[in-house]
Amino acid sequence: MSRDQQMRAWITERLAPLHPDEIPGATIRIAPITGDASSRRYFRLTLPDQGTRVLMDAPPDTEDCRPFVRVAELMREAGVYVPQVEIADFERGFLLLADLGRVTYLDALRGTPEQADALMRPALDTLVRWQAASRPGVLPLYDTALLRREMDLFPEWYVGHHLEITLSDKQRDTLEKVCATLTASALAQPQVFVHRDFMPRNLMVAESDAAPAPGVLDFQDAVYGPIAYDVVSLFRDAFISWEEEQELDWVIRYWEKARAAGLPVHADFADFWRAYEWMGLQRHLKVLGIFCRLKYRDGKENYITDLPRFLDYARKTAQRYREFAPLAALLDVLEESAPLGTPANVKARH
């Protein structure tokens, strides 16, 4: 039986008993929702009474639904609006979730700056609530091994597979020193709950004034780690970029809210901004590798078009700090050596 057949059989088996009074023969409509970078899939189910639910399909041979359920409860306890888990079938890899709506922040943020600001402020409130609930020993650590494993994706998949370049010993040494510096910076930050993908595509716009805003999705990989990580995920996104003046304004607002909530951010904003930028650089290197892995290993071509955005992020940060001047030079060399048509020397799309 194919995975789609298993899913349809599961829907019939688990949902039909919940609607015994519906008209006989009425069907449940199944529509795919935008794909995920993992092997998870999501579907919106429209029930015979026109109510909707979201089905997470997480094949148990590659995915585990349990972290999603655990983190959902943590976030709910923190006052964060997340989908209610109505049915959890860990053995077969299906979760039935409440539907938080159809409009993501990414869709809505393509409006005017005023609309963007009205969305970002409650997103910052949500992030501060999540971080304020932090305590050690609950989530996996964002430790040295994980930080380095993420950055190792850059030379393997971006440089090796995508650019088809073999780094020299000197270049590998340069990259090693950069990664060591970024790791030390991340570990030196105050540690809090980290969503790891707190970005506009994973935030949902409330459908009514009575609903909380925003709804938060895709949190199953949450860890305990650097306080700046989710902030930089929000403002240096894979799919939308901001002018630095606007980004700076929002980061200051976050820093002020965090201090008011008693979170252990740096007392001097300049120190927090540096930690934020360095955390961003770690994430940029990771994402450049992940997007290439998605193409060459997983056959997901669409992510590759946003490589220029992350190259732009990485280059600007590397040029701003003397510690990363060797990385800036390395990025220039890689760009010059990139095969024609490779998204290594294309301007980022805003």
User: CATH assignment of 3-98, given 3.40.50.300, 3.40.50.720, 3.40.190.10, 3.30.200.20?
Assistant: 3.30.200.20
The CATH 3.30.200.20 domain(s) of the chain lie at: 3-98
Is the confidence at residue 42, as pLDDT, over 60?
Answer: yes
Q: In the numeric block, which tokens belong to residue 170?
A: 């000197």
Is the alpha carbon torsion for 139, 145, 149, 155 positive or negative?
positive
CA distance 345 to 256: 37
Length, in residues, of the chain: 350
Within 13 A of 148's CA, how many CA atoms are on the CB side?
9
* pLDDT 10s digits, 240-266: 899 999 999 999 999 999 999 999 999
pLDDT given for residue 25 in this prediction? 45
Q: Give the least confident one: 8-22, 55-69, 132-146, 203-217.
A: 8-22
Q: Give the least confident one: 111-115, 147-151, 192-196.
A: 111-115
**CATH number for the domain running over 105-337:** 3.90.1200.10
Q: Which residues of 161-199 are buried (b: 16+ CB within 10 A; e: fewer)?
A: ebbebebeeebeebbeebbebbbebbeebbbbbbbbbbb
The CATH 3.90.1200.10 domain(s) of the chain lie at: 105-337
Q: By three-state DSSP, how is residue 88 classified? A: strand
Is the confidence at residue 39, as pLDDT, over 50?
Answer: yes
DSSP character for 64? -
Helices assigned H by DSSP within 297-324: 307-320
